[in-house]
Amino acid sequence: MNVLLVSTFEGGFQPTTIATAATSLMKEGFNVSVLDTYVDGIIEDKFQGNDLIAISVPLFDAVHAGIEIAKLAAKVNPEAHITFFGQHATINATRLAGKYSDSCICGEWEYPLTLLTKHLNGDIQEDLPGVLSGEQAMKGNSIHPYMSRDHLDVPSRHILPPLHKYPQKQINRLLGSEQIVGSTEIARGCHHKCLYCSVFAAYDGKVILVNEEIVIQDVKNLVEGGMTHLTFVDADFFNAKYHGIKILRKLHQQFPNLTYDFTTRVDHILENKETLAEMKQLGVKFITSALEFPSKEVLDAVAKDTSIEDITEAIAYLREIDIKLNPTFIMFNPWTSLDDIVTFRTFVEDNALGDLVDPIQYETRLYLYKGSPLLHKESIQSLDLTEYEFHYDWKHPDPKLDELYYEMLTPPEEGIFKRCCLKC
């Protein structure tokens, strides 16, 4: 069996999703090749000669690009079985399978994808956990996502484009120098249930820890690939209270010059002050935190379980221990007013965030993707919604807010996506 793994966009990082899939498949003896269109573009010849073409869609940004890849792959190689995998494949499985692909992987992907390949090779015939067939989807059926940690293994970085092809402008800006940036994860999923979050939509509050040995070996491989700075791309680094700090201590011992960043919630910053002070000494340079919007109404609407006072305290503490904050926002959302926009500017100035905020954050707008828990809220259902295949466009109750949004919106630069976090 010849398998092609395709990535279109993974937050601008080297695509771990296809790297972990490759490990599982190669261990079973399958011939695996990869294509990352984010850095290499679309190479049609890559689609030829493959029995299975598996397209990674971990982020909302990747869904439409992945569909275009699937259409092209079916045209170039009509005999190939096409499947999707990744977080937004789980969320959109019934919308993808049968229409744009022959199947779709739901939940964790490495083991189901390997079973699917064995099935296509004639090695196994039984039902395939985590694999939704096109036939099932066309009948309106769905399946339970596959959730397990036993199948996790070290990502196969050596078959991916080199790290230097994935520059990170905001990281370079925050650190004040050019970095070779790598990424890894210590867990998948998230215990928290913020209503806008696609991690919640895909994992329903479950967390799957990645074994410490796997993480450390992956980092070793990244360092050998030239990495100078590591981003932990977990939805929340403190999903397990001690898992991350134990790993950081070991990494700092082996790679004392390596620097780090990760994502966590405001409440975890306040709960882990002593740990964060230690992390500063271990090489943590900045923390990304989704502040959403400095408004109680907005924070309550998305079930953030925090307050403006908590946010202000967390900002002050990180400044005190000299860890930079990389704040993300949902600048335009249905619950803000024009007065709130003025207040937002004051909030940024009062907390001295102006030099830290990525300019893209001033243009972020709430995504209402299909499968979002937000769609159950009355305040969302009452909006003027326009339905599309994978999402809804919404209009603000005050048309002036939408006018302001479109006035502020700048044309996207190549490779720049207006996103609020690494896991959406």
pLDDT of 423 over the 70 cut: no
**185 and 82, same structural domain?**
no
CA nearest neighbour of 3 among 48, 42, 51: 51
In a domain, 420, yes or no: no
Q: Retrieve residue 321's tokens.
A: 């221990």
- Residue 29 is classified by DSSP as T
Rounded distance, CA 198 to CA 375, Å? Answer: 12
Do 122 and 185 share a domain, yes or no? no
Q: Are residues 121 and 172 in the same domain?
A: no
Question: What residues have CB less than 8 Å from 176, skipping those under 6 apart?
Answer: none
Element (H, E) at 324: strand 324-329
Tell whether 368 is covered by a domain: yes
Two structure tokens written together for 132: 């939704």
Distances (CA, A) of 54 to 21, 82, 360: 9, 6, 31
One domain, residues 45 and 120: yes
Map residue 245 onto helix, strand or coil: helix
Local confidence band at 135 (pLDDT 50, 70, 90 cut-offs): very high
Report the mean per-residue pLDDT for the chain: 94
Q: Verify that 270 and 313 share a domain, yes or no.
A: yes
- Please identify, among 138, 170, 202, the residue that sits at the C-terminal boundary of a domain: 138
101 Cβ contact list (under 8 Å, min separation 6): 55, 70, 82, 83, 84, 134
> Domain tally for the chain?
2
Same domain, 46 and 188: no
- 250 pLDDT higher than 60: yes
CA dist 287 and 310 (Å) reads 16
Strand order in the sheet with 81-85: 31-36, 2-7, 52-56, 81-85, 103-105, 131-133
What per-residue confidence (pLDDT) applies to 150?
A: 85
Contact by Cβ (8 Å): 182, 163: yes
Q: What are 265-323's pLDDT values in tens digits? A: 999 999 999 999 999 999 999 999 999 999 999 999 999 999 999 999 999 999 999 99
Q: Is residue 153 part of a domain?
A: no
Same domain flag for 83 and 205: no
| Same-domain pairing of 190 and 114 | no
Q: Are 306 and 299 in contact (CB under 8 A)?
A: yes
Residue where a domain stops, chosen among 104, 138, 172 = 138
Residue 359 has what pLDDT? 85
The verdict on 77 and 195 lying in the same domain is no
How many Å apart are CA 61 and CA 76, to the nearest integer?
Answer: 24
**pTM score:** 0.94
How many residues in total does the chain contain? Answer: 424
Sheet holding 181-184, edge to edge: 181-184, 229-232, 259-263, 284-292, 324-329
Dig out the tokens for 237 from the structure: 């680094």
Residue 424 lies in a domain: no
What CATH number should be reported for the domain holding residue 321? Answer: 3.20.20.70
146 within some domain: no
- For residue 199, tell me if it sits in a domain: yes
Find residue 34's DSSP bridge partners. Answer: 5
Residues 234 and 361 reside in one and the same domain: yes
Strands 229-232 and 187-189 turn out to be unpaired
Classify residue 147: in a domain, yes or no. no
> Does 55 lie in the same domain as 17?
yes
- CATH code of the domain containing 106: 3.40.50.280
Pick from 55, 58, 5: which is nearest to 30 by CA?
5
Q: Residue 277: inside a domain, yes or no? A: yes
What is the predicted pLDDT for the residue at 363? 86
Per residue in 342-399, pLDDT (tens digit) is 899 999 999 999 999 988 888 889 999 999 999 999 999 999 999 999 999 999 999 9
More confident residue, 227 or 417: 227
> Whole domain around residue 14: which residue ranges?
2-138
231 plus 374 within the same structural domain: yes
